[in-house]
């Protein structure tokens, strides 16, 4: 059994943080350090097929949730505070509804318990144009990617996944082929009868379309004790766009 790669920061109550699609644990390093400085042992996890964790052809929310349980067992964590963003939020929902005794409190960042149609085609189209036999540094990769992906923020996010496979040879940390072919899985919903009645906080970006007011009833159906709050001046990457308010709202909830 393979165990997910993680960075563990601080001492205190175990707090597991799950990144989004094509992300990695490093995306949460700044906020993770803040939580770690204030009483939590923070586990920044790379989910399977992402970051430094193992690659696998199996990829759905059942196995992603089981990976976290295996990780907790490996690290002797009976229960933890759990936070997930986007895809990581779906993993966290699956975890909380199937193993409620393992989740003390749940924080979901900008994703609802509903089906999302695949919408990452343009990203994979751009990434597929990166020829690492021709590209020898990040600047060249960014220039090529810019022909297909105009948003600089998205490009910078994606380029964090580049690493030196060997001397002078770049590659992706994420499992490009599996993730490209499993886009449908990313949008999948949790089970219709799934319920977690522990404390939950859903944070949504005021500029994001991922959680709409008409999703609130469905959130409450699956998570009857959920609070729903909005982060100002933030889109889908709300933790990066307004980290101060994100930290304040999440930290208040964790300590309430």
Residues in CB range of 113: below 8 A, 6 or more apart: 93, 189, 190, 194, 218, 219, 222, 223
From the list 86, 110, 222, 239, the catalytic residue is 86
Kindly tell me the sign of the dihedral angle through the C-alpha atoms of 210, 216, 221, 224.
Answer: positive
3-state secondary structure of 77: coil
Q: Is 208 a catalytic residue?
A: no
Distance between CA atoms of 43 and 123, rounded to whole angstroms? 28
Q: Are 68 and 16 in contact (CB under 8 A)?
A: yes
Q: Are 102 and 80 in contact (CB under 8 A)?
A: yes
Q: Is 65 a catalytic residue?
A: no
DSSP assignment of 8-61: EESSSEEEEEE--TT--GGGGHHHHHHHHTTTEEEEEEPPTTSTTSPP-S--SH
> Shortest CA distance to 45 belongs to which of 21, 22, 28?
28
Q: Is 232 a catalytic residue?
A: no
> Shortest CA distance to 84 belongs to which of 174, 207, 193, 196?
196
From the list 57, 121, 137, 177, the catalytic residue is 177
- Tokens encoding 74: 């490996």
From the list 5, 85, 236, 239, the catalytic residue is 236
Q: What positions carry a catalytic annotation?
A: 86, 177, 236
């Amino acid at each position: 059994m393979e165990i997910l790669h993680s960075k563990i920061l601080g001492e205190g109550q175990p707090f597991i943080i799950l990144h989004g699609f094509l992300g990695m644990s490093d995306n949460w390093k700044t906020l993770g350090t803040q939580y770690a400085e204030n009483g939590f042992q923070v586990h920044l996890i790379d989910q399977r097929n992402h970051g430094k964790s193992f690659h696998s052809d199996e990829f759905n929310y059942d196995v992603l949730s089981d990976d976290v349980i295996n990780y907790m067992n490996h690290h002797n964590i009976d229960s933890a505070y759990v936070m997930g963003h986007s895809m990581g939020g779906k993993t966290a929902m699956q975890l909380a509804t199937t193993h409620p005794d393992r989740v003390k409190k749940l924080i979901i960042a900008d994703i609802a318990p509903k089906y999302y149609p695949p919408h990452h085609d343009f990203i994979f189209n751009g990434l597929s144009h990166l020829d690492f036999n021709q590209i020898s540094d990040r600047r060249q990769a960014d220039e090529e990617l810019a022909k297909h992906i105009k948003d600089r923020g998205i490009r910078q996010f994606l380029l964090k996944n580049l690493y030196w496979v060997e001397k002078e040879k770049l590659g992706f940390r994420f499992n490009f082929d599996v993730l490209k072919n499993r886009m449908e899985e990313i949008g999948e919903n949790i089970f219709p009868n799934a319920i977690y009645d522990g404390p939950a906080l859903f944070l949504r970006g005021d500029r994001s379309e991922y959680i709409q007011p008409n999703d609130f009833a469905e959130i409450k159906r699956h998570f009857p004790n959920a609070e729903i709050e909005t982060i100002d001046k933030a889109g889908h990457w709300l933790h990066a766009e307004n980290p101060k308010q994100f930290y304040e709202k999440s930290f208040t909830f964790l300590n309430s």
